[in-house]
Structure 1
């Protein structure tokens, strides 16, 4: 008796599995897996967090449309026109919509918090409309939004400041932002089009890929569940281009360094997530833009620790890390990616160190109050902790600590293991010696904006960062570079026990704060160690008074242990 074999029909056979976004079946049916709940527009600001919304059709031939978001309070509170933000949603070119809940919430947040007029573009999706349809739609939307023609929407004519045009995108939307910036750059000299000037670009976890594997994309570097897996990324671009491109060498997906460096935008913000398989591409993009860009004068790199791709969208948009990211985006759109000097007394800037291809960067902290008095500040080169495999100069605890020092601080964002094993962290940190000095805040010349006293250079580090500080001192001695006069090494866990956690962003308290401030500024300390071993006490007190000059810190563990004991005793007393 013959065995019966059940055969699947064509409607059940998957030919293209683009999980978590889409599946295509043998009969041509397409199943989109991402929920796409439609949110209706409303011109009543009270129904949408103080933001009025309207839907418009940009091109009737292609069906390209957009949703406009107008902050009612910003429009009413000032006679000045509002920044114009052209926003592109993500979801790998094959899912999502400007009218979906996630995109609507994101654009509403930008409009309400940044006081901007947002044009959220609903571009055509693959595979029904393969690439370059999304780019063509984005270009049509940008031309429409920035046109001075009377055919533009009344909100644009009445409220938009086209001189402050920003392109903002999430994931695939960030890829569209880049490619539109390339097109703007290429057509700057055309006489038959309105001149489009881009004030800034914002790329949030940008969708870039390539034929080669970066260290963070190799097997063993992305254990656990991830939004994107390298194997699926390899198949995605040929799918969204409709088979027109076989591999991943397409410059629209894998932009070359010279193209990135040539972009004609004044400012840029690039955000990556530490668990995102695409993070290496974003870091490299920011480094290329900052290191070789003739037009882009300010580049900020934002790293969200412990997060994966698109963590700031959807149901997770309210958690702390997502709020912090949006805070940075709002500050950027306001025209300053700095801390509020009125509230903190500290301004910040992000810079790239050394070869842009390496992706090594740093955050600079400038004490505005001290500068206003004409004081030349000590220079502190600071290395964060995290056992060489976690942490970031851009994460909240290390950011808050660096901002608390009474100095001009260079907080180094070095590469982490296991993607970049030791000695990568040491090599990255040594790069800070000269290239970062090109930044105007670090100018040594006698001129306006001269902030640094080059005779007071310090190395500081927490935990693994203290190890790096030691290695820097040893390397300086070996190379006869004399990079420092004195050195302080701090233990992260010991400092927390003495001062309390810095994660709240409050000013450091306890004996540590006064000791470090007095040490950096070369003053005799108001309180000295009075207990414990005589050797440790004499070394530290002499060091604080500026009487010790050292090329290494072999005695540091002994001294720092004694400091912890003394500080703890004072707190308990």
Structure 2
């Protein structure tokens, strides 16, 4: 038997994955997963739920330590993980640990969405899966739905979407879809976009200063995405507030600023806030969650979510 196809590489996208000529896909990064737990440091409890057995769409749910003893329902955070649409999961250690800290600090109930990833499932499948997850969340309106945590502890009238990198891209698209289609039973208060993975046909700002890095991003973007443009219906975002978080050394920084400018020109009537972390690079807060800028970023997002909730 000729085994050459099993070792010959058809496409190589370091540090993310390789596609071999026999169709096999080897992910290089973001492959570790850990189980849900009762986190000893934060007291946050988590569990996994299957949303769609047919597609495998699922989620990891988080509740803070004091929730079960309280009758008061808490704001709901729906989180979309990053990883360039192709690596990482809702069950990755860095996202599990980040959501534990986030939920404890913000005192929210969280749903971390596990969507199908490219290249096996190219965009827009991640968007469709995320929308499926949101409709599942919405099914818990008025004490209905299958999950006791959401029925008993989550206030669907105070909901936020958040994500980093590709997850921020998804959060944007979900916010837009809520604005265009509605999500019965859910009131989307705001979205938080951290180091958003946006791109385009032409370089803007300082994007053309690193040709090699730009080339890698463009190759991956073309491989996954059917469109390079911002949606012309941007002003239809279904929330009243947007927080855009930017890192000074991130190649996607200028896209974040550009997004904020487009919101202002689109007719969007909500409030747009921008926070830039000086001296930091893409998703620095996941790589070093205890540094000064990571702590400041978390506190800013928590403040954004808790604004007006006291």
TM-score (norm 2): 0.91
Shift of 1:139: 0.3
Alignment of 1:491-570 (within 5 A): none
Residue matched to 1:49: 42
The reply on whether 1:23 has 2:15 as its aligned counterpart is no
Residue matched to 2:239: 265
Shift of 1:300: 1.2
CA offset digits 1:278-322 (Å, max 9, x no partner): 1111111122224544441x22101011111111113x1221111
Q: Secondary structure at the match of 2:285?
A: coil
Given that 1:216 and 1:280 are in contact with CA atoms closer than 8 Å, whether structure 2 keeps it comes out as: yes
Residue matched to 1:238: 222
Residue matched to 1:164: 158
Shift of 1:48: 5.3
Q: Secondary structure at the match of 2:66?
A: helix
Seen in structure 2, the aligned counterparts of structure 1 residues 322 and 222 have a Cα distance that, compared at 3 Å, is farther
Residue matched to 2:194: 204
Q: Which 4+ stretches in 1 moved above 3 angstroms?
A: 290-295
Shift of 1:74: 4.8
Shift of 1:276: 1.0
Of 201, 210, 215, 2:205 maps to 215
Instruction: Measure the CA separation in 2 of the matches of 1:260 and 1:160.
Output: 28
Of 245, 248, 251, 1:274 maps to 248
Shift of 1:240: 2.1
Instruction: Measure the CA separation in 1 of the matches of 2:204 and 2:51.
Output: 39
Gap runs ≥5 in structure 1? 1-7, 338-573
Residue matched to 1:330: 302
Q: Secondary structure at the match of 2:307?
A: coil
How large is the RMSD of aligned CA atoms in angstroms?
A: 2.1
Residue matched to 1:300: 273
Given that 1:21 and 1:33 are in contact with CA atoms closer than 8 Å, whether structure 2 keeps it comes out as: yes
Alignment of 1:371-390 (within 5 A): none
Residue matched to 2:86: 94
Instruction: Measure the CA separation in 1 of the matches of 2:178 and 2:114.
Output: 20
Alignment of 1:38-437 (within 5 A): 38-42=33-37, 44=38, 47=40, 49-74=42-67, 76=69, 78-147=70-139, 148=141, 150-188=144-182, 194-218=184-208, 221-222=209-210, 229-241=213-225, 245=226, 250=227, 253-256=228-231, 258-296=232-270, 298-314=271-287, 316-335=288-307
Instruction: Measure the CA separation in 2 of the matches of 1:238 and 1:222.
Output: 18
Given that 1:181 and 1:265 are in contact with CA atoms closer than 8 Å, whether structure 2 keeps it comes out as: yes
* Higher RCO (C-alpha under 8 Å, 6+ residues apart): 2
Given that 1:198 and 1:265 are in contact with CA atoms closer than 8 Å, whether structure 2 keeps it comes out as: yes
- When the two structures are aligned, how many residues end up with a matched partner? 305
Gap runs ≥5 in structure 2? none
Q: Secondary structure at the match of 1:103?
A: helix
